[in-house]
Structure 1
Amino acid sequence: MSAVSRIRNRRSIGLARIRNWSRGRLDGYAAGWRDGYRLGACGHAVRLGAVMPAVRPLHILFVATGKGFPYSPLDEAVTVTLKGMVARLTVTRKETVVRDAAALRPDLVLVLDGLDFDIARVDAIRALGLRTAIWFTDDPYYTDITSVLAQHFDDVFTLEQSCVEYYRSIGCGRVHHLPLGVHPAVFRPLNPPPERRRDICFVGSAYWNRVDFFDSITDYLEGKNVWISGIWWERLQNYKRLARQIELNKWMDPKETAMTYNGAKIVINLHRSPYDAEFNRNGARINAVSANPRTFEISACATLQMTDIRDGLSSCYVPGVEIETYASAEELTAKIDYYLANEEHRQAIALRGLYRTMRDHTYANRLDRMLSLLFEQ
């Protein structure tokens, strides 16, 4: 190569580098502006919607699930929230709850989940003249167990609306519908790194109704920027076709889940079936009409959520305004295509969903409602 050719080659490379640098700078500026604008709008929605309940002069003895992950985030959310809402909170274990209740004589002994709680313990606490309450976190999927346990508590709280009348019908005197909520310290708007950004994601276990549904949209998902994470997804008929897009047999912790939601333009929510005989203990075949906890967690991340329809969903969010719904695989894929092509509309719904979540669906909202029902009515 001649000297002139070498000079021209270097000049050409230099110009290409300058063009690439300029293009990267412009693209980076645009992406940074979009991310900054989104986080600023989200911060405003959070501030507008946030509710600070009054502190009550109560002593609560709280029995956490003690089960470890994935229940430990629930234990933490309730513990942290209650600490800011009552004059005194004591956290105990089911093994020591009777002793602690007798020594401390709290205003309330609150049990979370309680599927492995010994009935003799709650009877012993009530024999002390102390008030008891239980908050069921998995209704109606294990009602064969909870139906026996519920009858031994003064007050029963259930996240499933259909279980309220069921518990009353078997002799429970005071039953209240109280969904789980969102812990805003964890599930909140974030700025995910580039490698966490995707068009579509789903996080959850591959129960059989979910397997059937995702089998029906394999052709659609195969060519999309999609990420699926959870256990049992090897059950898919066409697992190999989606394997590169599936994080198999992993339980993401809440912080990683929140980052995953934030990194997606659209998060799919598909409720598990209440009639799955392999995994459920629901011999009474009670239907599920209430939104699952994931509904609130996704919306708290200011990401557009597309969920299958449940009768109780409209009492939590306005479909088409604060959340999006689908009744079939065809409707889901059509709406995904629409919202991926209409960024402003997608972000507007996600932002309104964030505001509604902060206003109505945090653990502070839920526990304020619980204490009001127990001590003010």
Structure 2
Amino acid sequence: MAASKRRGRGDLTLRQSTLGRENGYQLGWEHGYWYGQCESVMKKAERAVVARPIHVLFVATGKGFPYSPLDEAISTTLRGLVRQLTVTDATQPVAAIAARVRPDIVIVLDGLHFNLAHVDEMRQNGIRTAIWFTDDPYYTDITGAIAGHYDEVFTLELNCVDFYRRLGCRSVHYLPLGAFPTEFRPRNPKRTQRHDICFIGSAYWKRVAFFDQVTGYLASKDTHISGIWWERLKDFSTFSNKIGLGRWMGPRETADMYNGAKIVINMHRAHDDETFNNNQTGITAVSPNPRTFEISACATLQLTDIRDDLVSFYTPGVDIVTYSSPQEMVERIEYYLTHEQERRDIAMRGMLRTMRDHTYQNRLETMLAILFPV
């Protein structure tokens, strides 16, 4: 009898092991085939780059993580777009460096921690300056006092263009951030990074209020959330096993998590959220956040809340999917988890459009064309 039980347990273990190998093989084959399709589609977005005969001095934020990946993405991309690139950061004696190397343009990223005396000195020395604000409209109480010191102002928020113009800035341009394909692209992630639903971001209070309404549903699914402050959820104790609490993931790990998800939720930060908000004038936000482009670059179905200017970049229902309420989010998740081919087709179209139109190469080529028109 005991031997029979041991044989039974052994047979069950063998069957489980065989089934596990078969499922693993099938999953690996499916993802490998999908990855190959993505690589083929990405080749359609490739195009030649012609470097402009100019010298750019790029002033990175120097603020460390999470800004350092942005510093790297822009400096790396610029290097292939101009004849000469000098890179420094906001903690260095930038005015002295500029006086020595005499660039055609100084491009400052973010600029919130950059001493404006350097900007004023460079302009007095006849050196042209530009700033690219990365967090509008959430810090306009600060950026409003900075913008007027520069010759050229670039903002990722459409509604901030008129804001800076009203402050007296004569040359203001709308230029959202984008995707850096070196990091954000289709990948073959580890099994532990694969989930049905994923959200990566901080738990601002208005996000918490929204997620409080869908926590029960998400708890019933293969869901993964990563970011700071998620202990603010009302049902955090019953949902905590699905949250990577307090984690700041780098670009590669973030991209792997996007790649491993069937659906990635994007929820924009509210313009009037009380957490770290310096927007007393109440400028509303209508432009897509950088995450919009990074998610789509990974060939993952993106389910995003609606921003008015989103349609300038993607077509809802074609290369991205939107929701306008907690109930609609749940309905869209349910639909696309059970309509595999439709989900994949939208994700693939979103990736192609991103790689073709919304990379940092696209953005910086646009910036340089504005600064140095033919």
The normalised TM-score by structure 1 is 0.95
Distance in 1 between the 2:12 and 2:120 partners?
Answer: 78
Q: Which structure 2 residues correspond to residues 150-161 of structure 1 after superposition, within 5 A?
A: 150-161=147-158
Larger-Rg structure: 1
Shift in Å, 1:237: 1.3
Query: CA deviation digits over 1:340-363, x for unaligned, max 9?
Result: 111111111111100000001100
Partner of 1:49: 45
Shift in Å, 1:121: 1.2
| Superposition CA RMSD, Å | 1.6
Identity among equivalent positions (%) equals: 57
Q: Secondary structure at the match of 1:312?
A: helix
For the pair 1:78 / 2:70, whether they are aligned, the reply is no
Moved more, 288-297 or 213-222: 213-222
Q: Secondary structure at the match of 2:262?
A: strand
- Amino acid of the residue matched to residue 126 of structure 2? G
Partner of 2:321: 324
Shift in Å, 1:226: 0.6
Equivalent pairs, count = 373
Q: Measured at CA, do residues 287 and 52 of structure 1 come closer, stay the same or move farther in structure 2, by a change above 3 Å? A: farther
Distance in 2 between the 1:370 and 1:235 partners?
Answer: 40
Query: CA deviation digits over 1:9-37, x for unaligned, max 9?
Result: 78766765664455344323322221111
Long gaps (5+) in structure 1:
none
Q: 2:24 aligns with which of 18, 21, 28?
A: 28
Shift in Å, 1:52: 3.6
1:289 and 1:310 in contact (8 A); partners too: yes
Q: 2:221 aligns with which of 201, 224, 227?
A: 224
Q: Secondary structure at the match of 2:149?
A: coil
The normalised TM-score by structure 2 is 0.96
Q: 1:169 aligns with which of 135, 159, 166?
A: 166
Q: Measured at CA, do residues 158 and 52 of structure 1 come closer, stay the same or move farther in structure 2, by a change above 3 Å? A: farther
Distance in 2 between the 1:115 and 1:301 partners?
Answer: 30
Query: CA deviation digits over 1:85-123, x for unaligned, max 9?
Result: 111110113331100111111000110000122222111
Q: 1:253 aligns with which of 234, 250, 255?
A: 250
Distance in 1 between the 2:142 and 2:7 partners?
Answer: 76
Q: 2:198 aligns with which of 185, 197, 201?
A: 201
2:205 and 2:275 in contact (8 A); partners too: no
Moved more, 135-144 or 36-45: 36-45
1:65 and 1:71 in contact (8 A); partners too: yes
Q: Which structure 2 residues correspond to residues 87-166 of structure 1 after superposition, within 5 A?
A: 87-94=83-90, 95-166=92-163
